[in-house]
């Protein structure tokens, strides 16, 4: 498997090297189903694909602390249509590296593959990101990794969380991207599924790639994507508490 992947990368690199050097081409298309597709193509041998949704921690309700953290750790488990082992194995078989990420605004999955495997990788990416199965026993399996995430948090991570909580208190932007230790395991599989039904939709998503043909992503998004059709979800208001933050800066000696 390793030698085959190395050959694929070398072959793609040779093909790219023989092409005439050109300036990176940037394209953005909003599809009829609401999905936004963007690419930056430099004709290089490795393609990075990202599928992201407006589904970060700012979209959690007051009783859902840690929901986006749970979803991020769930990537690599079963989807609605495929076993998680099949998704991970398929990505690895084509030289792919799958990663998940969250912010206060976004949840997403990235997949890096040799350029000539892009078409297949798009299907793997969509299954991993847009169609999680959220089986109750698998949700329970991610709890140790969530506790491990909290164990590796740095002092900087804690400070950023506290500043957000103070600056955007009573608003979604004040929510942490980490689940509080006391609430890990409190978000049910049903709650996760309902959140995904609402947020993992075309109008709420962006499909982005570097070093891939824009037409391939548009074709996939228009005709083959398993992402459910739906409208964008607007976040609740998060007012910035300016006066309070000035007091923090003055107290800390900053500014």
pLDDT tens-digit readout, 164-202 = 888 888 788 999 999 999 889 999 999 999 999 999 999
In the chain the domains, ranked by start, together with CATH numbers, are 2-153+183-238 (3.30.830.10)
Q: What φ, ψ does residue 49 adopt, rounded to 5°?
A: -110, 140
The pLDDT tens digits of the residues spanning 125-179 come to 999 999 999 999 999 999 999 999 999 999 999 999 998 888 888 788 999 999 9
Across 31-40, 93-102, 116-125, the highest mean pLDDT is recorded for 31-40
**pLDDT above 80: residue 15:** no
Query: For residue 111, with 0-12 CB atoms within 10 Å meaning exposed, 13-18 middle and 19 or more buried, which class applies?
Result: buried
Residue 93 — very low, low, confident or very high, per pLDDT cuts 50/70/90? confident
Residue 82 DSSP one-character state: S
**pLDDT above 60: residue 255:** no
Determine if the pTM surpasses 0.75.
yes
Which one, of 170, 162, 58, 175, lies nearest residue 106 by Cα? Answer: 58
pLDDT reported for residue 99: 93
| Structure tokens that stand for 133 in this block | 């199965």
**pLDDT above 50: residue 10:** no
């Amino acid at each position: 498997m390793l030698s085959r992947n190395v050959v694929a990368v070398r072959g793609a690199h040779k093909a790219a090297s023989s092409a005439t050097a050109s300036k990176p081409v940037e394209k953005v298309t909003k599809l009829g189903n609401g999905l936004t597709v963007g690419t930056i193509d430099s004709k290089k041998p490795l393609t990075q694909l990202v599928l992201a949704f407006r589904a970060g921690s700012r979209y959690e309700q007051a009783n859902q602390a840690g929901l986006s953290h749970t979803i991020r750790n769930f990537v690599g488990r079963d989807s609605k249509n495929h076993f998680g082992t099949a998704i991970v194995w398929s990505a690895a078989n084509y030289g792919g590296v799958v990663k998940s990420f969250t912010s206060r605004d976004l949840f997403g999955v990235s997949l890096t593959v040799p350029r000539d495997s892009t078409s297949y990788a798009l299907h793997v990416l969509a299954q991993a990101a847009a169609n999680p199965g959220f089986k109750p026993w698998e949700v329970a399996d991610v709890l140790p990794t969530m506790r491990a995430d909290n164990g590796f948090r740095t002092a900087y991570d804690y400070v950023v969380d506290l500043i957000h909580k103070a600056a955007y208190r009573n608003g979604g932007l004040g929510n942490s991207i980490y689940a509080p230790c006391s609430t890990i395991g409190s978000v049910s599989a049903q709650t996760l599924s309902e959140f995904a039904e609402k947020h993992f939709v075309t109008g709420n998503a962006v499909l982005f790639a570097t070093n891939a043909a824009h037409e391939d992503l548009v074709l996939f998004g228009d005709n083959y994507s398993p992402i459910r059709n739906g409208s964008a979800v607007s976040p609740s208001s998060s007012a910035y508490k300016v006066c309070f933050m000035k007091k923090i800066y003055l107290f800390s000696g900053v500014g």
